[in-house]
Chains A and B, each alone.
Chain A
Amino acid sequence: MNDSGTSLPADSWFGDLRFPIDVRIPSDVRFIEPIVGAVVKRCVEHSIPSKACRLNVPVALTEAISNAILRGNHEDTSKAVRIRVTIDDRDLILEVEDEGAGFDLGACLVDPGGDGNRFREDGRGLFLMCSLMDRVEQVPEHANIVRLTLHRA
């Protein structure tokens, strides 16, 4: 256990995950890389294109979980982030849910090429999600759930 009382993630923690994935992690950024790695591993096994497995899925999912931990749950380790992943013939769907009040997805989207934005240290996460996935949306009536969709074809 660390100072916050959260057990440190081990590489083997998420090794048994299979689609459909439905898992909760504490609001601790150290859990991001292991869960993202486990999801990507399953994507590889399901023949998701290699570039998507190297870039689109890990970066977009990392951003979504990071937002949930840092902004949704404010790193309160008593709060969880729920990650659901489903796959069918057409789509890979990633859903990330926090315990916060939700946010205005449209209002948070920043153009990194806009005036002065190039020198900003933050604000690129949602842009990257939208750039790397085919669809980014909030689940209706649940502003604290972001859904990322990647078409398989």
Chain B
Amino acid sequence: MNCNNVRELILTDFSDNELSPDKQKMLETHLATCLACRNLAAGIKECSGVLSGAERISLDRDKIWQRIVAEIDAEKTSSVIYEPVRGVSVWEKLFAAVKPAYVLASLGLVILLTSFVVRRPPVVTVQLQEKEEEVQYLAYVIDQFAADESEGDNLGTSIEEYFL
């Protein structure tokens, strides 16, 4: 065992009795012949002795318990106050508040659609009438044109006939 390996073990497992009996014995053999490692082991033992010999610090148990109970009660109270609200979501509350508006809007929509459906046929009729009128007008114009043409021929013919 060289000093570097021993140093690692002195700082950890050896000082905390975590080594196997065989390794523990090997290390003790090394310490018997190495002053530097022996000094290190003594320093660690002293530090560990200071820590393990420390008194356990005791806080005021009852005072802290009272504070814990008060905090538990406060948590219970806040959860009780919150419970009724928990059943109804924000969206449900909002929907309940605007329900009449939904009904009115639905009614309005129905009326609008109905009026649209009811009004649509006259518009078609009017359009048809307009088309019929256009057709009649065109027929009239064509007739007039034909009539004028025939009248012209007649006139010429009649004039010729007049002078002849």
Q: Do A and B bind each other?
A: no
Partner-B contacts on A (CB < 8 A): none
